[in-house]
Amino acid sequence: MLSVAEVASFCGVNPQTVRRWARRGHLPKAGESPSGRAHFAPAQVARFLTRHGYPLPEALKGAEPTSAEGAPETEPSRSAAA
The DSSP-derived string for the chain is -EEHHHHHHHHTS-HHHHHHHHHTTSS---EE-TT--EEE-HHHHHHHHHHTTPPPPGGGGGG--S--TT--S----HHHH-
Q: Domain map of the chain by residue range?
A: 2-58
Q: Is 0.75 topped by the overall pTM?
A: no
Average pLDDT of the chain, as a whole number: 82
Which fold, 2-58? Multidrug-efflux Transporter Regulator; Chain: A; Domain 2 (1.10.1660)
Q: Tens digit of pLDDT for each residue in 7-36? A: 999 999 999 999 999 999 999 999 998 999
